[in-house]
Chain A
Amino acid sequence: MKFINLCFQVHQPYRLRTYRFFNIGQDHQYYDDYQNRHIIRRVAERSYLPANRMILDLIREYGSAFRVSYSISGPALEQLLQHAPEVIHGFQELASTGCVEFTGETYSHSLASLKSKEEFIRQVVKHRDRINDLFGQSPTTFRNTELIFNDEIGLTAAEQGFTTLLTEGAKHILGWKSPNFLYYSAINPKLKLLLRNYRLSDDIIFRFSNRAWSEWPITTEKFVGWLNKVPDNEEVVNLFLNYETLGEQQWKETGIFEFFHKLPRTVLAHSPYRFSTPREISEQLQPVAPITVLYPISWADEEKDLTAWLGNELQDEAFGKLYGIEQAVVESDRPDVLRDWERLQASDHFYYMCTKWFSDGEVHKYFNPYPSPYEAFINYMNVLSDFMIRVETPGVPAGEARSEQPHAVKETEKPVKVSAKKTAVRKTIRKKTSDIKKPAAAKNQTAAKKPAAAKKSTAVKKPTAAKKPTLAKKPTAEKKVTGAGPNAKSMKKTN
C-alpha cells in the first residue's frame, strides 16, 4: 500500500496600512483593517468554506480512507475567528471526524527559526496551545513557515516534542534520491522527514488552469495516472498545497473542486494509494535514509532557498532591526507590544520586499499589495520605527480602538447560529481581547491621558480626510483594487 499525504496550509497575514513617517510616534494602529477583513471574508467564501464542506463530505463518504492535514497560522486563526468564525467551526467539525491532523508551526508564520531560538520556541508553543484549545489536538508534526528547514530547526522542533517534520523535496538536497519515501534527520534519527513532491503539488497549485500547458486540462484520471507512474517501491507522495488553491487561486470555474471531489474515488478504485496523515505515515513506514540540510531550504521558487524573504539590503535591514529589539520586547512584557511584535514578524512583510522578480521581469506576475519592494520597505520601516519607540518608552498605548470597533459592529450586525463549541471559542477570544485592552483602558482613565486619547480618535483622523478632499478618493479606490491581491500572492509564492 502507498500513501498520499495531502497537507493544506492556511495563512493570511495582517497586512499593514499605508503608514507614513508623520504617523511615527503618534499613531499606533498599523493594520489595514478594511483590507484584511475584506480579504479574509472573500477567501472564506470562495475557498475555505466550500473546501471545508467538500472535505467533510468526502470524509463522510469514504470514512477513514480519506484523510488530510492542515497547518493553520495564528494570524489566520485570529482573523477567521473575528471575521469568518464559521470557517473555524468547519475545521472543528473536521477535527471531530478523527480523519484530520493539525500540524504545528510558528504562531505568526514568522521566520523566527532563522534568527532567535527563544522566540521560535515561544511561538511554536503558543501555536500548539492555540491548536489544542480550538481543535483538541496537540500537534506532533511540524511544518515550519514556508517549509523552511535545516538540521538546527529540526533539532529544536524535536526538542519541542515533534516527531515528524514536513519540508520541501528540494532537488539540491535530495540529489538522485526520490522525495517519495520517509526519511529521517541525520543529526536526530528520531525525527522523521516527509518531503514535498513539488512537481505533482505544483501541477495543481500553479498549472491546474494554465491552458498554455501541454497537459491541460488535468483530470482526476490523468492525475491518478501520474500517481501510478511513480515507481512501485516508492511509498508516499506528499502533496502540500495552499488551501486557497481551492477556489481562490484556482477559481471554482476551473473545476478545481470537481477535481478534488473525484480524487478519492479514483485513487481508491484505480491505484494502490490510500490517503493518510503525517503522523500515521511516519508510524507505519520505515525511514529509508538520513537527510542532512546545512543551509535552510524552503518551498519557494526555483531556488528552494530563503532568497524570497531574506538576502537583499532591504530585507536584511528590516529583519535585523526587528529582531534587534527582541530583548526589549520580552522585557516590556506588555500584551499590546507582544501582539504587534508577532504580527510584524510574519514572513509576508519580507516577501513584499523581494527584488528577485526584477531580474526576470516578472514584477507583475507575483502579486503584492505594494507597487514595488521599495514602498514595502518604507512602509514597514515606518511602522517598525513607531513600534520601536513604543517598546522603548513604557506606557504608550496601542491603537486598539480602531481595530476593535468594526469587529464589535460586525458581531451585532450579523448574528450567526452559535453552537456550544463556538461560544466557547468566542469566549476565549473575548477574554483575550479584553486582556489586551485593559492596560490601554486603564491608562485612559488617568486624568492627564484622557484628553490626549480623546483627541487621537477624532482629531488625528479628521485632518487627513479633510486635507485632500479631491485626492482622497484615488488612494482608497486603488486600495480596493489591490485588496484582491495579497493573498493571490501568498499562494503564488512558490513556483
Chain B
Amino acid sequence: MRVLMFGWEFPPHITGGLGTACFGLTKGLVKLGTEVIFVVPKAYGDESPEGFRLVSASDITLDILDHAQQEFWNKIKYMEIGSNLIPYLGEEEFEKLVEEEELQKTETTSSVFSKRFSFSGKYGKNLMQEVSRYALVASSIASKLEYDLIHAHDWLTYPAGIAAKHISGKPLIIHVHATEFDRSGEHVNQTVYDIERSGMEAADEVITVSNLTRQIVIEKYGIDPSKVYTVHNAVEPADRPELEGIQKHVKEKVVTFLGRVTYQKGPDYFVEAAHKVLKRDRNVRFVMAGSGDLLNRMVRRIAKLKMGTRFHFTGFLTGAEVDTMFAMSDVYVMPSVSEPFGISPLEAMRSNVPVVISKQSGVSEVLRHAIKIDFWDIDAMADAIYGILHYKGLQKMFAHYGKGEVDNLKWENASFNVLGVYKVALARRQ
C-alpha cells in the first residue's frame, strides 16, 4: 500500500506536537510495510528519511495551464482571506514574523501564478496564502505520483488533501490533531472552521487523536460518527544517557508547567494552585516554561500574590532545554483547558517525573499512572501536587509504573490502527 501524506512540518523543524506525531506515525507505518510519500511545504534537507520519500512542495513545478488544476484553483481561492491568523505562535514570535514579512514584501498575489512557489513552512502572517498554494501544489503532486490513499494532517493540509482527492479520486483520510475549538475556545475563526469542516466532509474517513476530539468532530462539525475513528498518539522511546548527570541546583522540589502560555493550556490555574501549595509549604519552586499571550498577565499575578521568589519563568525552551527541565522536575502539571491529545506528559513520564493532568486532555484517556483533575479544580490540583511532593509512596509508584506505561505507548500500535482505517477506506470503495 502506498500513501500520499500531507503534513506541515517535520522534525527537526517543528513548532508544536504535529511534526513529532507525523514523524512517529510515518515511521510506524513504514515498519508495517506501508510506503509513504510525505509532502511538506518546505524540506530543509536535514530531516531523517527513514524509508519514506520526503517531498518538498517548494520544489514542485506547476503547469498553470493545466485545466484540472486551474479549476481547483478557482475553487480554493476563497481561502485567501483573513490572513492574520496565527494558530500556534506566541506573541513575540508573531511580531517577529510580521516584521520579516514587511521586509520581504516582494511577493504579491500574482506570484501565485509563477511556476514555482517558495514556502516558509511556518505559521506566518500569510498563512492562508500558503495553505492555498500548498493545495495547488498538492494537486500537481497528486497527478504525477502513484498511490492508493491520501492522508492529510490538520487543517493546514486539508485543502491539499481535498485537491489531491479531486485530481486522483483516491480515498482521503483526514487526521485531526486539533480543532479550532481547542485553539480558540468558543471564539472560533470562521475561515479555519470552514476549512476544517469541508476537509472532514470531503474525507472518506476521519481520524482523531482522542475520544475528546472525536466528540468535538461529531458534535461541533456535524460529522457522521460512523466514519470518525480515534487513534491515540504515542511517544518515541528515548534513551538519553546524557540526561542522567543533570542535577538541579536548588534544594527545593520543583513543580513544572511547560507549554504555550495561552488560554488553551490553563496557565492561570497552575498559578493559583501554586499559591495554595506555597501557603502551606515554602520549600517548593514552581516553574512556568514557555511563552504566550498570557505570560505578562501571569507575571503580574505572581507579583500580586508575592510569590516571586518561589515562582520562576524560563521563557520558551527548545529541545535539549526541555529535557533538562524535565530532568530537574519533581512534578509536571498540565492543566490544559482543552487538549486534543497532549504529548508532553508522556515526555515527562519518560523522564520518571510524576504528572498531574487535566481530565480535559486526550492523553488522560490512555494514562493510568497519572493524577487526573478537572482543569478548574485548583484545590484538587494543589492537593495532587502536595501529595506527590510529600508522600513517598506516590513517588515510588510513579517511578515504578509510569515509565513502563509510557514505553508501552508505541507508535507501531498507533500506526497499526491507522492502517486499519486505511483498510476500511479501501474496502468501502470496492
Please list the residues of chain A having a beta carbon within 8 angstroms of any beta carbon in chain B.
20-22, 24, 312-318, 355, 358, 363, 371-372, 374-375, 377-379, 381-382, 385, 471, 474-475
- Tell me whether A21 and B393 are in contact (CB under 8 A): no
Question: Which B residues are CB-close (under 8 A) to A381?
Answer: 387, 390-391, 393
- Ranked nearest first, the 6 interchain pairs of A and B with the lowest CB-CB distance are A317-B393, A378-B387, A313-B396, A21-B386, A313-B393, A314-B393
Chain A residues touching B, majority SS: helix
C-alpha spacing A257/B393, complex, angstroms:
44
Query: Can you list 28 A-B contacts with CB-CB less than 8 angstroms, sorted by A residue number?
Result: A21-B386, A21-B390, A22-B279, A22-B379, A22-B382, A312-B397, A313-B397, A314-B397, A315-B393, A355-B401, A358-B368, A372-B368, A372-B371, A372-B372, A374-B369, A374-B371, A374-B384, A374-B387, A374-B394, A375-B384, A377-B387, A377-B391, A377-B393, A378-B384, A378-B387, A382-B387, A471-B376, A471-B377
C-alpha spacing A363/B394, complex, angstroms:
19
Question: Which A residues are CB-close (under 8 A) to B282?
Answer: none
> Is B400 part of the contact surface with A, judged by Cβ < 8 Å?
yes
Question: Which A residues are CB-close (under 8 A) to B392?
Answer: 313, 317
Q: How far is the CB of A276 from chain B (nearest CB, A)?
A: 45
Chain B: CB-nearest residue to A315: B393
Q: How far is the CB of B256 from chain A (nearest CB, A)?
A: 19
Question: Which A residues are CB-close (under 8 A) to B372?
Answer: 371-372
Q: How many of B's residues come within 8 Å of A, CB to CB?
A: 27
C-alpha spacing A381/B383, complex, angstroms:
11
- Tell me whether A20 and B382 are in contact (CB under 8 A): yes
For chain B, residues 265 to 291, give those with C-beta under 8 angstroms from any C-beta of chain A: 276, 279-280
- Tell me whether B371 and A21 are in contact (CB under 8 A): no
Given A372-B371, A475-B377, 20 new contacts (CB under 8 A)? A21-B382, A21-B386, A22-B382, A312-B397, A315-B393, A317-B396, A358-B368, A374-B369, A374-B384, A374-B394, A374-B397, A375-B384, A377-B387, A377-B391, A377-B393, A377-B394, A378-B383, A378-B384, A378-B394, A381-B393
C-alpha spacing A318/B390, complex, angstroms:
12
> Is B374 part of the contact surface with A, judged by Cβ < 8 Å?
yes
Q: How far is the CB of B399 from chain A (nearest CB, A)?
A: 9
C-alpha spacing A378/B393, complex, angstroms:
10
Q: How far is the CB of A111 from chain B (nearest CB, A)?
A: 16
Question: Which A residues are CB-close (under 8 A) to B280?
Answer: 21-22, 24
Q: How far is the CB of A353 from chain B (nearest CB, A)?
A: 9
Question: Which A residues are CB-close (under 8 A) to B397?
Answer: 312-314, 355, 374
C-alpha spacing A432/B190, complex, angstroms:
68
Question: Which B residues are CB-close (under 8 A) to A24?
Answer: 280
Question: Which A residues are CB-close (under 8 A) to B394?
Answer: 313-314, 374, 377-378
Question: Which A residues are CB-close (under 8 A) to B371?
Answer: 372, 374-375, 378
Question: Which A residues are CB-close (under 8 A) to B384?
Answer: 374-375, 378
Question: Which B residues are CB-close (under 8 A) to A379?
Answer: 383
Q: How far is the CB of A464 from chain B (nearest CB, A)?
A: 8
C-alpha spacing A381/B397, complex, angstroms:
15
C-alpha spacing A20/B401, complex, angstroms:
25
Q: How far is the CB of B104 from chain A (nearest CB, A)?
A: 48
C-alpha spacing A21/B277, complex, angstroms:
9
- Tell me whether B383 and A20 are in contact (CB under 8 A): yes
Question: Which B residues are CB-close (under 8 A) to A377?
Answer: 387, 391, 393-394
Q: How far is the CB of A316 from chain B (nearest CB, A)?
A: 7
- Tell me whether A318 and B374 are in contact (CB under 8 A): no
Known contacts A313-B400, A377-B394, A474-B374, A382 near B368 by CB under 8 Å: no
Q: How far is the CB of A467 from chain B (nearest CB, A)?
A: 9
